[in-house]
């Protein structure tokens, strides 16, 4: 067992973070860099991706940007090669890139939009797992983390392809965890609830303030979820502190899937304890 600080130390480790230009991926790129990793920031957004890689490099070790479409196998192969060619190894693969994709009533979803959503949110994760495993095996293990969603755990409407893909990410995580356990490659995913990131801004014309006001009403814990909440969970799963955890879906949602917000007692309100015995003993009111 290592000491507390060493447990979260990523010095000497190399991490790829897809969707690293924005939101959770950006926060994770900066946090992993602060923890000592060399980060390969991967995204379709060149300008913001380059900027995040520059900020990550300012944390200490060199980080780089690699343009990659996670749905394209040659791009993922080139991404993995960029990490191993530049930094000599791969220890952490964070399959995080995502889009909302097809939005609207189920009967209106086109096959093309369904497939485009699946290609990014599910095929992208599969490809990340497929091509990260080899280099991780070569260095005696690693950590694969993917971003699922509470939308993949609970039913909802309007995001059918997205929710189906995110449910599949959680199950693929369990299957891949079995496949790679013998190689000491841990495979986990994070299921965020509503988090204030650009993926939610602009949908239905809502700006950041309006999105955050909506999220505030949504989950029991009394503040809006931020990308750093997901980055913290990802660092835990990437680190030695999570060495015995694999096949797990870590829900990070401020209690949204624990139960309805209406069940949360109002802080400071006085309540009294009672006991409800057999109903026949109670007089009807
Ligand atoms: N924000 C939320 O409420 C929420 C909740 C649950 C799950 N998620 C998931 O979290 C992950 C991160 O999203 P975010 O909220 O930080 O949103 P975001 O839009 O800020 O970041 C997503 C990033 O992925 C990139 N991307 C999209 N398609 C890509 C592709 N084909 N190849 C490479 N990069 C691509 C985007 O350019 C962007 O930089 C996504 O998988 C998303 O589905 C978000």
Say how far apart CA 58 and CA 55 lie, in whole Å: 5
Distance from Cα 51 to the centre of ligand 1, integer Å:
17
Mean pLDDT of 81-88: 98
263-283 confidence digits (pLDDT tens): 999 999 999 999 999 999 988
In degrees, rounded to 5, the angle at the alpha carbon of residue 99 between the alpha carbons of residues 131 and 196 is 115
Residue located nearest, by CA, to atom 40 of ligand 1 = 98
Contact partners, residue 221, CB within 8 Å, separation at least 6: 254, 255
| Catalytic-role residue among 95, 162, 212, 233 | 162
Cβ atoms of 149 and 95 within 8 Å: the answer is: no
What ligand 1 atom has the least distance to the C-alpha of 198?
20
Residue 114 · residue 156 · CB < 8 Å:
no
pLDDT score for 149: 98
Output the pTM of the full model: 0.97
Whether the predicted pLDDT of 212 surpasses 90: yes
- 96 in contact with ligand 1, CB cutoff 6 A: yes
Determine contact, residues 46/23, Cβ cutoff 8 Å. no
Q: What structural domains does the chain harbor?
A: 4-281 (3.40.50.720)
Active-site residue, 221 included: no
Q: What is the pLDDT of residues 243-264, one digit of tens each?
A: 999 999 999 999 999 998 889 9
Partners of 195 in beta bridges = 225
Residue 44 beta carbon below 6 angstroms from any ligand 1 atom? yes
Nearest ligand 1 atom, CA 119: 31
Residues 6 or more apart in contact with residue 81 via CB below 8 angstroms: none
What mean pLDDT comes out for the span 85-110? 98
Q: What is the position in ligand 1's atom list of the atom closest to the CA of 215?
A: 3
Q: How far is the CA of 99 from the centre of ligand 1 (A)?
A: 5
Structure tokens at 43: 């995204």
pLDDT tens-digit map of 106-130: 999 999 999 999 999 999 999 999 9
Q: Hey, whose CA ends up nearest to atom 1 of ligand 1?
A: 195
**CA-closest residue to ligand 1 atom 30:** 69
Compute the distance between CA of residue 194 and CA of residue 224 in angstroms, rounded to an integer: 8
């Amino acid at each position: 067992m290592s000491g507390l600080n060493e447990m979260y130390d990523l010095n000497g480790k190399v991490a790829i973070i897809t969707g690293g230009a924005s939101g959770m991926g950006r926060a994770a790129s900066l946090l992993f860099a602060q923890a000592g990793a060399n980060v390969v920031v991967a995204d379709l957004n060149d300008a913001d991706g380059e900027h995040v890689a520059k900020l990550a490099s300012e944390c200490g070790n060199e980080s780089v940007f690699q343009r990659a479409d996670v749905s394209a196998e040659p791009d993922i192969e080139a991404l993995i090669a960029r990490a191993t060619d530049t930094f000599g190894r791969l220890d952490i693969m964070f399959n995080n890139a995502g889009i909302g994709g097809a939005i609207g009533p189920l009967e209106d979803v086109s096959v093309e939009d369904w497939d485009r959503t699946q290609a990014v949110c599910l095929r992208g994760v599969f490809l990340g797992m497929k091509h990260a495993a080899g280099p991780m095996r070569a260095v005696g293990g690693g950590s694969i983390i993917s971003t699922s969603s509470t939308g993949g755990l609970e039913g909802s409407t309007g995001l059918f392809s997205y929710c189906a893909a995110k449910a599949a990410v959680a199950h693929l995580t369990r299957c891949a965890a079995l496949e790679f356990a013998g190689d000491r490659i841990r495979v986990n995913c994070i299921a965020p609830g509503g988090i204030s990131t650009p993926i939610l801004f602009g949908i239905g014309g809502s700006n950041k303030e309006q999105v955050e006001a909506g999220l505030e009403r949504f989950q029991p814990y009394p503040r809006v979820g931020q990308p750093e909440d997901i980055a913290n969970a990802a660092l835990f799963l990437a680190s030695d502190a999570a060495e015995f955890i694999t096949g797990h879906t870590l829900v990070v949602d401020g209690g949204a899937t624990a139960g309805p917000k209406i069940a949360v007692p109002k802080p400071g309100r006085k309540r009294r304890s009672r006991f409800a015995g057999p109903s026949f003993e109670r007089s009807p009111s």
